[in-house]
Amino acid sequence: MHEFDWSSIPNALPFLWDGMLISLEITLSAVVFGIVWGTLLALMRLSSITPLSWFAAGYVNLFRAVPLVMVLLWFFLIVPHLLESLFGLPRGTDMRLTSAIAGFALFEAAYYSEIIRAGIQSVSRGQMAAASALGMTYSQAMRLVVLPQAFRNMVPLLLTQGIILFQDTSLVYVSALADFFGAAYKVGDRDGRLVELLLFAGAVYFVLCFAASRIVRHYQNKLKTA
Amino acid sequence: MAYNWNWGVFLQPTATGDDSTYLDWMLHGLQMTVGLSLSAWLIALLLGAVVGVLRTVPNRWLSGLATAYVEVFRNIPLLVQLFLWYFVMPELLPEKLGNAFKQTNPIMQQFLSSMICLALFTSARVAEQVRSGINSLPPGQKNAGLALGFTLPQTYRHVMLPMAVRLIVPPLTSEFLNIFKNSAVCSTIGLLELAAQGRQLVDYTAQPYESFIAVTVAYLLLNVVVMSGMRWVETHVRVPGYIGGK
């Protein structure tokens, strides 16, 4: 049986905290960009302009069919070289954090757009008709009447997707970027205490995600009764 | 941009000296991805069905246990779970069993850890679908079963489950697709499945674009095949009178 020795964790806490900040930074930026780009994709998908809706459908289906690991590998191994040669950046510029954020944002946007599309479609048709009858243009009606109601209903789903995204950020491990999980792995590997550090990382993720999903559920129930 | 496209690279013999081509590498990776996903899916279905049923039974201990199971596997990232199975589990097992595991063929170790990890991770999601399927049945079905003199297990087996199983096929399709995509995570412990072969192709062929495009297309094809297979299943099991039914 393994003999536990947790002594390397207290000293490593500042390093692990830095890692957690990177995880949160990736999560937050990807959520914000993902929702903005996802909203645009959803609007394109619902638009009556055929090329736009085809583009959005193709984009969403492509990203939803490919594993996240594959998307991240594209963004870590291929895209930096492409950008280097396109913009003449010096070789070996460290773009891992930017690549990670871009990869996650573009990937999550596909999932967000499906949530948002369902949200827009759940707003009753009469709302759009009423807005048009009041003389609003299509974009005014979308912006001022339909989207605010759609977003209000979607908040729990968007937040749940955010929790999933936070868990998925651990996959930046493939680029050796020291996010929270990467940091825990490095410390464990260095001190020969991989078992303890991995258990610790698992426990931290569990506590954070469990608490966050409880809060979302609480909010969801409040929304239902309101 | 000067890049030499060379799709012929896949037909060249590999640099390792045996007479396989790079295309063979990709096919091996594809085989591994499919084998891993299918075996993990079978376990996930069985376990998920049991846990999902337990979540709905009128017994606080059983349903609490099942809820805890689902929460644990849903709130820890897949990558962390995989590392726990691969690096931590052999250390925590009784010494004999742990050593036996560590002495097996490394590919077997990677495959077993990956399979258990994907199976349990997915089983928690399957359990949620099973639970919502059972809960979506009108309560009259259960009451009618009990009123006819069935015991609770009999009611589950003969009345509720046959119905629930048919209702949850469409949501299970997306979980089935997910298990193929999630299997790519197993490349991180060195399992040579499709994504890992893609990385290896980049290193060996120095043709990164062709390698990654080929692997991405392979995933897309896999997705299409699974989706059409499941659509066939869906049309055969759907329940008349329900949304999407005949």
User: Which residue ranges make up each domain of chain B?
Assistant: 20-237
Q: Where are the alpha helices (DSSP H) in A47-179?
A: 50-65, 68-73, 79-87, 96-122, 125-133, 138-141, 147-168
Integer Cα distance of A63 and A65 in angstroms:
5
CATH class of B20-237: mainly alpha
- Let me know if residue A199 belongs to a domain: no
CB A216 within 8 A of CB A224: no
Say how many domains are in chain A: 1
- Which is nearest to A165 in space by CA: A176, A175, A179? A179
pLDDT at B246: 47
pLDDT tens digit at each of 246 positions of chain B: 567 888 888 888 887 777 788 889 899 999 999 999 999 999 999 999 999 999 999 999 999 999 999 999 999 999 999 999 999 999 988 888 888 888 889 999 999 999 999 999 999 999 999 999 999 999 999 999 999 999 999 999 999 999 999 999 989 999 999 999 999 999 999 999 999 999 888 888 888 888 999 999 999 999 999 999 999 999 888 888 775 554
Residue of A70, A200, A215 to mutate, interface with B, max B Cβ within 10 Å = A70
Integer Cα distance of B188 and B170 in angstroms:
30
Q: How far is A108 from chain B (nearest CA, A)?
A: 15
Integer Cα distance of B214 and B221 in angstroms:
10
pLDDT at B242: 73
Structural domain including A172 reads: 25-177
pLDDT at B72: 96
Nearest-CB residue to A65 (from B72, B79, B220) = B220
CB A7 within 8 A of CB A84: no
Extract the tokens encoding A41. Answer: 């994709």
Q: Is A168 on the interface with B (CB under 8 A)?
A: yes
- Let me know if residue A58 belongs to a domain: yes
Q: Rounded to whole angstroms, what are the CA distances from A136 to A19, A127, B10, B46, B162?
A: 48, 11, 57, 54, 51
Closest Cα in chain A to B185? A69
Closest Cα in chain B to A76? B199
Q: Per the CB < 8 Å rule, is A73 touching B91?
A: no
Integer Cα distance of B205 and B146 in angstroms:
66
pLDDT at A175: 86
- Which is nearest to B197 in space by CA: B177, B212, B182? B212
- Let me know if residue A84 belongs to a domain: yes
pLDDT at A179: 92
- Let me know if residue A2 belongs to a domain: no
Q: Per the CB < 8 Å rule, is A173 touching B79?
A: yes
Integer Cα distance of B103 and A184 in angstroms:
27
Extract the tokens encoding A64. Answer: 């939803």
- Let me know if residue A19 belongs to a domain: no
Integer Cα distance of A206 and A167 in angstroms:
10
Tell me, what CATH number does A29's domain have? 1.10.3720.10
Partner B, chain A 101-160, Cβ-Cβ below 8 Å:
none
Q: Which residues in chain A land under pLDDT 70?
A: 1, 91-93, 226
pLDDT at A176: 82
Q: What angle do CA B211, B215, B221 make, to 5 degrees?
A: 145
| Span A11-60, pLDDT tens digits | 899 999 999 999 999 999 999 999 999 999 999 999 999 999 999 999 99
Integer Cα distance of B69 and B64 in angstroms:
9
Q: Per the CB < 8 Å rule, is A205 touching B75?
A: yes
Please tell me the pTM assigned to this model: 0.91
Extract the tokens encoding B39. Answer: 């075996």
Q: Rounded to whole angstroms, what are the CA distances from A155 to A207, B125, B128?
A: 22, 22, 21
CB A38 within 8 A of CB A108: yes
Q: Is A58 on the interface with B (CB under 8 A)?
A: no
- Let me know if residue A82 belongs to a domain: yes
Integer Cα distance of A198 and B92 in angstroms:
13
Integer Cα distance of B83 and A202 in angstroms:
10
- Let me know if residue A99 belongs to a domain: yes
Cα torsion B200, B205, B207, B213 to 10°: value is -50
Integer Cα distance of A12 and A188 in angstroms:
10
Integer Cα distance of B137 and B22 in angstroms:
51
3-state SS of chain A: helix, strand, coil percent to 5? Answer: 85, 0, 15
Q: Per the CB < 8 Å rule, is A78 touching B209?
A: yes
ipTM reported for the complex, 2 dp: 0.90
Q: How far is A138 from chain B (nearest CA, A)?
A: 31
- Let me know if residue A192 belongs to a domain: no
What amino acid occupies position A214? R
Q: Is A204 on the interface with B (CB under 8 A)?
A: no
